[in-house]
Chains A and B, each alone.
Chain A
């Protein structure tokens, strides 16, 4: 298979070190209380780690074209799934409950 790029060992080692550093950062930051910032930082770091694995371990940095497109399409559909599912519950408290509609049930009733 002449088309496949042989990635230097150095690239793999650097990717590996970067992943371990990011693991340390994400674990450390979790112990600093930042409110919503904790979740945002954790997800951003996870996303960067995913990109490192995709680009270097899974060779998307070298495999251009259809394989990148394939994965991007997968992520797009996942984003649609998560964003549309969340659109309701994340926006419920943006507007007050109209008079006569009773208390906001969204946060009051859980499974018994």
Chain B
């Protein structure tokens, strides 16, 4: 198979160091899985430290957890789950060769839900935490029992949700670029690995939130 024979929208899609297109596509997917492993350990450091300090200072962490609203955490979980569904359907619509508009619509909804997630996080949660003096280092004022440990909980809360929010922002950027390429007709049922790989990343960010929600919002019951 010669590489010049495989094109999409007039562009060669087979890199010269791959023998066949399926080999290239498999390698790309595996590459993303390996990247996701490094992401597991990237977040894993925070999860491990969180586990240790939560065990040491459980009363303070429980108190801190009661200051953040379960309602928004649960709604945001649902928002990300819906966005994962639309992401999966967007990939499927390319796989089965649906019209460009269908794929673009599904990618658009996915990005929009990402933005909704961030708006809830920043405007309805972080801003309120700031107004309630719960932001360590910037505006923290709490004199009740276990004050130092409540502060530590909020440090974890902002680091973990903040790092996750950065991943959501990056994901939206990736989907924006892929929407442009979809609009330009770069993908087809025989070539769609960039969208598929971006989907793996998006679902992974969803999984991180699936763990952050119970750990931060539901500690020791409510």
Q: Chain A: residues with CB nearer than 8 A to chain B? A: 1-4, 6-7, 9, 12-13, 15-16, 19-20, 23, 26-27, 30-35, 38-39, 42-43, 45-46, 49-50, 53-54, 56-58, 63, 66-67, 70-71, 73-75, 77-78, 81-82, 85-86, 89-90, 106-107, 110-112
Verify B44–A78 contact, CB threshold 8 A: yes
Q: How many whole Å from A97's CB to the nearest CB in chain B?
A: 16
Complex CA distance for A61 and B145, rounded to whole angstroms: 48
- Binding-face segment, B121-129, B161-169, B207-215: B207-215
Q: Across the interface, which residues of B come within 8 angstroms of A90, CB to CB? A: 55
Q: Across the interface, which residues of B come within 8 angstroms of A23, CB to CB? A: 74, 77-78, 81
Verify B193–A1 contact, CB threshold 8 A: yes
Q: Chain B: residues with CB nearer than 8 A to chain A? A: 21-22, 25-26, 29-30, 33-34, 36-37, 40-41, 44-45, 47-49, 51-52, 55-57, 60, 70, 74, 77-78, 81-82, 84-85, 87-89, 92, 95-96, 146, 148-149, 152, 190-193, 196, 199-200, 203-204, 206-207, 210-211, 213-215, 217-222
Q: Which chain A residue shows the least CB distance to B85?
A: A16
